[in-house]
A and B are shown apart, each in its own frame.
Chain A
């Protein structure tokens, strides 16, 4: 009880009130952003379409279970959630600096760290609501159409997408602090998006080919360091997190030459911890840089 009281006192401090006010403003502001509405609809529409038509190319039409839907959806979510995060994050600081609203805000009794924390919190909530509503509504429709519904893995899929979104919001916010114009911040954010997907995949392929040969990967026997490098990529962390927990995805990964996750020196919690580090580090860098940033 005493603990709850002190916690309540802590969160009712002026600092938290300002953080929550900034977050509330971001939520209010961004839910009027047409892109957020569009992406939410896209999450919903795509989950239903994938569930119904996902196996059409294999000549099978009809509703897939939630677990199988996740396997097909993962490929789209890998891009869509980061895209939404980048849309929300890349301009949040730089555009306000450009248009002058940041100068006005910082002339009020608010610390820059509070502004950053509030913005991150607000944007993450916006992304989470968009993902949960979009994928959740899709999942609801799918589960009403199929038998043997396994909800736990679908929930984990949504939760992991929210965490991945948090990583990209954090990174794009950092870029928004670093760059002095929004075009550069957007370009850099898009580059990061490609870096952790296409560029990473091709680079890893090249590294494998040059060092030990791609056939070792296909045989599921690449050296340990090759897997450890993957930890530097939040998308790969997210994929591994899914593969560790969603049975059809693990089977699918193994089928394409993946390695049995249990023998890796990491597990679900390590993946989640690493993704949280991926959120925290860019935020800390942002805080340092934003504190020194000249507002003009």
Chain B
């Protein structure tokens, strides 16, 4: 069942189409990756979903209710992390959380639990303007859970964070998924989306270019595995493999033999090398990832 349903969404800013005829469905309980380069229209789409911006055309329904008509009640069921999350600098961590709790009319006793869960307990009296970027982001995610909403919308949750905090945030997102939350995650970090999401939509220039399960996207775009061998004698191995019709783009690179083939044929390549009496000292297989899909769908097609 679709918990988020977007149909025919259009939004223009100063004559530029930021979102153009977007259709999108997010199923209950999944982590949906909303992928696209900067300026693709991701944040605009999210702001329309929250009700911060009105669309020129189209509808957004969350839990079966139209956001434009039932904005306030829809927002009660959503936890939102903006791309640039900011709190009231002169208020402490605890006071900020109290205020946001009051906005959702939910009991303040949940604040202790959230601050504990997000390792902010010892900073609860600190003014939010004195928090580090990592702590602010942790507080940002903590506030999305005020009122225990079923849907979380996270806009670039790891942007600008150091690797340790990024890892911590990813772990937390996974644990939220385990709690049964539906998570709509916008990002331009491909590895992150690949690691966290089950399904992904690729947006560019306001248009949905592709939407599928993460694993299926590679197959859909007939992407090839990249094989890299340290093999001897390398010249003869190259000559032999070049003749195989399922091998693509063989080349010598930094003393290694590099080639591309479909995932199911890589065993055949290895077998050919062994049967041919070549010495394989080492090899690497790199499966197609979202980066390739992304590049192909966006700028790569032209480049």
Q: What residues of chain A have their CB less than 8 Å away from a CB belonging to chain B?
A: 14, 17-18, 21, 24-25, 28-29, 32-33, 99-101, 103-111, 294-296
Q: Which residues of B contact A104 (CB under 8 A)?
A: 80, 82, 85-87, 100, 143
Q: How many A-B residue pairs have CB under 8 A?
A: 70
Alpha-carbon distance between A18 and B87 when the two chains are bound, in angstroms: 18
Q: List 5 A-B contacts (CB under 8 A).
A: A18-B105, A107-B82, A109-B73, A109-B76, A294-B52
Question: Quick one: given A29-B88, A101-B87, A106-B52, are A295 and B47 in contact (CB under 8 Å)?
Answer: yes
Q: A104-B87, A107-B75, A296-B53 are in contact. List 8 more A-B contacts (CB 8 A).
A: A29-B88, A29-B91, A32-B90, A99-B86, A105-B103, A108-B100, A109-B76, A110-B72
Given that A18-B102, A33-B90, A108-B100 are contacting pairs, would A100 and B84 also be in contact in the complex, using a CB cutoff of 8 Å? yes
Closest-by-CB residue of A relative to B50 is: A107
Name B53's contact: one of A21, A33, A295 (CB within 8 Å): A295
Counting chain B CB atoms within 10 Å of each CB, the highest count among A14, A103, A107, A296 belongs to: A107
Contact digits for B73-111, partner A, Cβ 8 Å, 1 yes 0 no? 101101010101111101100010001101111000000
In the assembled complex, the CB of A117 is this many whole angstroms from the nearest CB of chain B, namely 14
Determine if A21 and B103 form an interchain contact, defined as CB atoms under 8 angstroms apart.
Answer: yes
The docked-state distance in angstroms from the alpha carbon of A103 to that of B73 is 17
Closest CB in chain B relative to A64 CB, distance in Å: 39
Nearest-neighbour CB distance to chain B for A32, whole angstroms, equals 5
Residues in A with CB closer than 8 Å to B88 are 25, 29, 101
Residue of B nearest to A32 (CB): B90
**Within the complex, what minimum Cβ distance (angstroms) separates A60 from chain B?**
45
Docked-complex contact A18 and B90, CB < 8 angstroms: no
Q: Which of A28, A99, A103, A108 contacts B103 (CB 8 A)?
A: A108
How far is it, in angstroms, between the C-alpha of A107 and the C-alpha of B76 when the chains are bound? Answer: 9
Bound together, the chains give a CA A99 to CA B90 distance in angstroms of 13
Asked whether B105 lies within 8 Å of A103 as measured between CB atoms, the reply is no
Q: Determine the distance from Cα of A104 to Cα of B141 in the docked complex, in whole angstroms.
A: 12
Query: Which of these, B51, B75, B85, B102, contacts A21 with CB under 8 Å?
Result: B102
Given contacts A14-B105, A17-B105, A110-B72, contact A103 B82 (CB under 8 A): yes
Chain A residues near B99: list those with CB within 8 A.
21, 24-25
Q: Which of A25, A28, A109, A295 contacts B72 (CB 8 A)?
A: A109
Contacts of A18 in B (CB 8 A): 102-103, 105
Complex interface: chain B residues within 8 A of A100 (CB): 82, 84-86
Give the chain B neighbours of A109 by CB distance below 8 A: 72-73, 75-76, 103-105
| Distance (whole angstroms) from the CB of A45 to the closest CB of chain B | 25
Tell me, rounded to whole Å, the shortest Cβ–Cβ distance linking A181 to chain B: 16
CB closest residue in chain A, given B76: A109
Question: Hey, which chain B residues are within 8 Å of A103, CB to CB?
Answer: 47, 52, 82, 84
In the complex, which residues 104-137 of chain B have their Cβ closer than 8 Å to any Cβ of chain A?
A: 104-105
Return chain B residues, CB-CB under 8 Å to A108. Answer: 75, 100, 103-104
Give the nearest-CB partner of A14 in chain B: B105
In the complex the two chains form, is A29's CB within 8 Å of B102's CB? Answer: no
A14 neighbours in B (Cβ, 8 Å): 105
Complex: A245 Cα to B78 Cα, angstroms:
55
In-complex Cβ contact of B95 among A28, A33, A106, A295 (8 A):
A28
Q: What distance in Å separates the Cβ of B222 from its nearest Cβ neighbour in chain A?
A: 39
Shortest beta-carbon distance from A177 to chain B in Å: 15
Question: From A26, which residue of chain B is reached at the shortest CB distance?
Answer: B88
Residues on A with beta carbons closer than 8 Å to the beta carbon of B72: 109-111
